[in-house]
Structure 1
Amino acid sequence: MAALLLAVALSASAARPAALKPFTATYQASYMGLRGTGTMTLVAVGGDRWKYSLEIDGAVARLSQNTVFQADGGHWKPLSNSDSSLLLIKKSSKHATYDWDRREARWSGNVKPDRAGPVALRAGDLDAMLVNLAIVRDVQAGEASHSYRMVDDGRAKQMTFRVVGKDTIDVDGKSHAATRVSMPDGSRETVLWIAEGVPVPMRILRRHNGDDEMDLRLRSLH
């Protein structure tokens, strides 16, 4: 499965980053026209390590992605991630390991030989799942630039988000002013809506050739 969420490598922030706190966010999900429920969680797993997960469940599809990462203040290092999907009878499963001692990332499972790695790691690299934490933090800090280096799916890639507008989004009967950011990537585009004080995107929209491919709309946050 292609990464559900495009990711970014960390840029320096002038503002002091807020401490990570566990959460569970529930989304109304649409994936390739199929409806379901999305659940995004952040949990501490011991020491300075955290697990960040996204699960999408529908009638004929199940998508799962999670990342274990190390947090040192506002600096995050992906350590491993897993990505699996079940769409009708088609299954896919991938696993990534980020070895910071060797400064390399490798992939196993349902991956092509040219996407198995190794890919050299640089300070600040993130994987695809950490996009939510990084872009939310940076937009809320008021940063003008959101350019990042992603290491995921057997490659390293530079990504740039830009602010494209402001909208009002309603969640559980409450209105939120949200900043809309967009990242074009060839035939694909990722759009996120980010609100002050909310640790996850209010909405995540992924388009392919101009058509909506995945749409997650926040419904609750605990």
Structure 2
Amino acid sequence: MSTAEWPLRRFSWQPQTGSHDGAPMRASLPLLLTSLMLALAPAVSHADDLQPFVATYDAWYQGKQAGTATMRLQPEGAQWRIDLGIRGNRGFAGILGLNLQQDTLFDVAAGIYRPLRQTTTRKAAVFFNRKIEGIYDWSRGVARWTGDLSKRRRDPVPLQPGDMSALLINLAVMRDAAPGAALNYRFVDGGRVRDYAYQAAAEPEILPVGEMSYSALRVSRTNGGNDEMIIWVAAGVPTPIRILQREDGEDAVDLRLVEYQGAP
């Protein structure tokens, strides 16, 4: 068993309550899985240090193994694409036949991850098959979503500098987090706007993962109400070690790293 050492590098993480229309959200399996998109992003020390990679996770739901997840970061010319796919194939998630796929195309402007296009697709047997696509028009200062969502969420959303999608917030958190750091971001995704606040632990902790153990920094969202989101990040690992979504004090969705490698 080996232990990865933690230098004072910067890293981090997201939640589930509040939107620009003021309606609180109640966590469900699809919503819990969606919130995990905020946690899955590579650890980097600078915006220009993005490196392509692929990571795979075991997905657990309410303490039982439920499926797998894959995260990929890759360049597309002068831009980047980050993708997350979660597939439930056991237990409750397997019964639903749930498939969740999200991607964000983005660029890096003055050290800021700037979303350009965002797509979310959910498939679950006969229950639903939904796709949402968003365009961030920075020249006009608005973002707009189309597809299977309410009319209210199709309304244009005024953009502010620094606004990010769920996946990009995780990139920023992992870049910015340090022991004891408080982080704040504005989420603009799926026709919703929310403020996200995170708090990093004062010190790293030892986190077992399979036959390995890591000195990992815990970063928690602090303004998610009864829905907790916790991410553990280890130095030298380009993706979170573990991501845990808890609802009303109980474990809900739990992603545990299996392996990662540099993408071609």
Q: TM-score, normalised by structure 1?
A: 0.86
The answer to whether 1:55 aligns with 2:85 is yes
Moved more, 67-76 or 162-171: 162-171
Paired residue secondary structure (2:236): coil
1:135 aligns with 2:173: yes
CA distance in 1 between counterparts of 2:145 and 2:81 reads: 18
Two-structure CA RMSD over aligned residues (Å): 2.3
Q: Structure 1 segments of 4 or more deviating over 4 A?
A: 15-18, 31-34
Q: Secondary structure at the match of 1:201?
A: coil
Q: How far apart, CA to CA, are the structure 2 residues paired with 1:22 and 1:136?
A: 15
Letter in 2 for 1:99: D
**How high is the sequence identity, in percent, across the aligned residues?**
36
- Equivalent residues of 1:29, 1:36 under 8 A apart: yes
Distance 2:112 2:159 in 1: 14
Structure 2 distance, partners of 1:68, 1:31, is: 29
Q: Deviations over 1:47-102 (max 9, x none)?
A: 1x111011112322211111111123631100111111122322222111111001
Distance 1:150 1:107 in 2: 14
Match in the other structure for 1:144: 181
**CA apart distance, 1:34:** 6.3
Q: Which runs of 5+ in 1 are unaligned?
A: 9-14
CA gap 1:7/1:57 in 2 versus in 1, 3 angstroms: closer
Distance 1:116 1:187 in 2: 28
Which secondary structure state, in structure 1, belongs to the residue aligned with residue 176 of structure 2? helix
Q: How does 1:44-83 map to 2 (within 5 A)?
A: 44-47=75-78, 49-59=79-89, 60-72=97-109, 74-83=111-120
Question: Which 10-residue stretch deviates more, 62-71 or 201-210?
Answer: 201-210
| Counterparts in 2 of 1:130 and 1:173: CA distance versus 1, 3 Å | same
- Residue 17 of structure 1 deviates from its aligned partner by 4.4
SS in structure 2 of the partner of residue 132 of structure 1:
helix
1:186 to 218, 221, 225: 225
Deviation of the 1:143 alpha carbon: 7.3
Q: Which amino acid aligns with 1:169?
A: L
Name whichever of 18-27 and 82-91 sits farther off.
82-91
The 5-angstrom pairing of residues 80-99 of structure 1 reads 80-90=117-127, 91-99=129-137
Contact 1:182 1:190 in 2 (8 A): yes
Counterpart CA distance in 2 for 1:108 and 1:39 is 25
Asked if the contact 2:229–2:246 (Cα under 8 Å) also holds between the matched residues in 1, the reply is: yes
2:205 maps to 1:174: no
Distance 2:54 2:37 in 1: 20
8 Å contact from structure 1 (residues 108, 116) kept in 2: yes
**Residue 190 of structure 2 aligns with which residue?**
153
More strand per residue:
1
Q: Any conservation in 2 of the 1:148–1:159 contact (CA below 8 Å)?
A: yes
